[in-house]
Structure 1
């Protein structure tokens, strides 16, 4: 994308949520700006819905930074209709979903550009808001399990299994025929059972250290959760951490540990979409808010406790 700043060339205008300084949700502005211009290999998508992820407000606060000048766009998850394409890309008018490459946001707006290779056909059984809830979270879970080498028969623990990444991770792990344990608040334990989790565990009361050791732990939380996870693994087990780097101060020599940072992958989204359309994977959307309520969506996301995903409808 040509992103020298948000206000690039273009005659027509569109709505966009941007921010001009790092800070709390009050720095978000709903503005009018020029339509984006695709670069080589990019397509233009009319955004019907944009997913909200924790990385969004971390970007707004400055924990995740780009090297572009303000004002900056927001968001990475999109579902919409192709309005401009490239040779070999999706057809104009096709319904697609995908993820913009980190760290440059630009999903909270009427039109966005992203690599043709980053999108896939929208799953037929999903609405646009449901489809927008999928890409970043589902790809994170998919790539985390790939990195861990998850295979049938292994014992897998997913922390925060009812969250955006977590609720996809437990379903993908079940699809791989692993034995799945997942933590959640007490109110979400039945939800986890409905997703096929073998052992839903109350994060406030469960004694995971007393359980049989795990082959793989997916840490979607960080901090003390990562620190405690090392000793939940068998010798030779694998810890995948998502929100922050591996803490070497807690490293154990017999555990493989790595951080996974999600990358766009249209082909993986095709495979995920097939699982969704087959009914094997459920997409949970807690709330769909209008674009003008992006700040409220950020506040809700940061407070935590969201089941599945929050989405902005355009």
Structure 2
């Protein structure tokens, strides 16, 4: 059998445009390994691309059907001729195909061997699949914001996929962390080590003292309003690309340092966070697991905007 199942974007639009398709199992090149995918992470960029928004969508508009997915975890089933660092049977995870190739929503994926992290036996593959894109976004945002020991850091959407990881990474840096969330997520966010701030209660600037660093995971009017929380000369990193220019322009008018960010795959950062997972120093909350064929439901959940932690697709093999 040389065929595998994939979930593809057949045309741009609502989640219902996602459909299962059959494809040939890829043959790894000399520098690649073939991974039998156990789980694929679901990220907001997947849904944005499916809706026809953003650069990946524009670049792939003539390549439909196109298989999304940048986070995978599974087992190596074949290695290329020049691959020495990984062997058949090893558990691996990684941030793959970013931004134009995608491909994670598939039972088998050929991946450059040096793009993958080993997954320790004690780490569930579902958690390993949920980590790469969100974790590296959180890590790089904190780096860009120069968040350091004793800095006051505000993270918007602290209960979300990137937010709940960013809280823990900022706490590990010994920052003083605050995070916005709904009332339903106050205990969850507090349990991660942040001071939880209910955004429904009052404007954030009325609830907290000024901060050194704002990690804006919301963008738009919410991101702009949160600028009032940042002290003069403070630092702002905004993640949603569609509103980054507007947030940065307003931040600069208010005397703040601000920049947008596009995550860049880093296996070194992924390895470091995998080690934290294994040591129990980082917790990944999985909000839901759906079969690959139910990817439309996963996209609907992501677009609803109230997911606590991460969503993954159960693609193929068991642990």
TM-score by length of 2: 0.90
The alpha-carbon deviation at position 239 of structure 1 amounts to 0.7
| Equivalences for residues 165-314 of structure 1 within 5 A | 165-197=162-194, 199-210=195-206, 211-244=208-241, 245-247=244-246, 248-253=248-253, 254-314=255-315
The alpha-carbon deviation at position 43 of structure 1 amounts to 2.5
Bigger helix share:
2
1:43 is paired with a residue of what secondary structure?
A: strand
| Equivalences for residues 124-163 of structure 1 within 5 A | 124-163=121-160
Residue 93 in 1 paired to residue 93 in 2? no
The alpha-carbon deviation at position 67 of structure 1 amounts to 2.8
Instruction: Choose from 11, 15, 24 the match for 1:21.
Output: 11
- Name stretches of at least 5 consecutive residues in structure 2 with no aligned partner: none
1:46 is paired with a residue of what secondary structure?
A: strand
Asked whether the 8 Å contact 1:66–1:104 carries over to 2, the reply is no
Say if 1:60 and 1:233 are closer, same or farther in 2 by CA, change over 3 A.
same
The equivalent residue for 2:20 is 30
The 2-side partners of 1:246 and 1:310 are apart by 29
The 2-side partners of 1:48 and 1:310 are apart by 14
Q: Calculate the aligned-residue CA RMSD, in Å.
A: 1.6
The equivalent residue for 2:59 is 67
1:72 is paired with a residue of what secondary structure?
A: coil
The equivalent residue for 1:45 is 35
Length, aligned pairs only: 303
The alpha-carbon deviation at position 39 of structure 1 amounts to 4.3
The alpha-carbon deviation at position 231 of structure 1 amounts to 2.2
Asked whether the 8 Å contact 2:128–2:274 carries over to 1, the reply is no
TM-score by length of 1: 0.92
The alpha-carbon deviation at position 194 of structure 1 amounts to 1.0
The 1-side partners of 2:136 and 2:44 are apart by 15
Asked whether the 8 Å contact 1:15–1:30 carries over to 2, the reply is yes
The alpha-carbon deviation at position 222 of structure 1 amounts to 1.1
The equivalent residue for 1:5 is none
